[in-house]
Amino acid sequence: MSLTAVAGCAVCMVLAAANAALPLNPPRHGGVYVIAHRGAHEAIPENTLPAYKKAIELGADFVEIDTRTTKDDAIVSVHNDKIDGYAKDVKGPVASFTLEQLRALDVGSRIAPEWKDARIPTFEEILDACKGRIGIYLDLKAASIPELVKFIQARGMEHDIVWYTGQVSELYKACPECIEMPDPGPETLLAKLLDGAKPRIVASSWKYCSKTFVEKCHAAGALVFTDDGGPKSWKPLLEWGVDGIQTDRPADLIRLLDKHGKTP
């Protein structure tokens, strides 16, 4: 066996040992986790229950949600820090609105009349819609970790959610069973993250991900979940060996993985 093959086997053994301790269901399509960014929102309002339910129908592994806190301390899923553009003639920070005010907004008609009843969902509604059906990629944005954990633990969903956050110590303190997924940004900062936080999953993006980035994570026993750069980025990402891809085109990615797996 060549030295390259031996090294490759060693990395696989390290990764397999780490994955055995990572309480995630296996990916459903071609050995790669499909993460529906803001839900499956092609022709559907993003970050709404219909978008999350569509991702479930497609067979995605995760839906990505963005957690923010309202004026009266409810937690909702809205990507931007302001509500501008989500509903007609309404502007201002999400945190300046009460839950009742946000729930009164029609955030669907801007996509199509059929979605006029779509509303901004609460975190609890998202958990209940996803439990037992799909995992959640939780982008912390502006919400309290202990408050989020309270709702998660009440439903026994600690192992159904991966946390996109750099606050790993705070997460461990509130929920030792929860699954961390910090993002180092540039590869120059990766070694410090791997040595310090020792994450089981590392988040990345098309801007910063690379073959060597993935290799370093795998050598440390960590999976790599990355944002894509559109469909043209899928082939190199799969060739580099990423373990999960977050995309606005989950249906197309699923078709590709079902046909070719990791080697399109």
- Active-site positions read 37, 79
Dihedral over Cα of 235, 236, 240, 242: its sign: negative
Find where tokens 């209940």 sit. Answer: 128
Nearest CA among 179, 102, 182, 81 for reference residue 136: 179
What element of type H or E holds 60?
Answer: none
The runs of H, that is alpha helices, within the chain are: 3-20, 49-58, 99-103, 123-130, 145-154, 168-174, 190-196, 211-219, 234-240, 250-260
Paired sense of beta strands 62-69 and 75-77, if any? antiparallel
- CA dist 193 and 104 (Å) reads 42
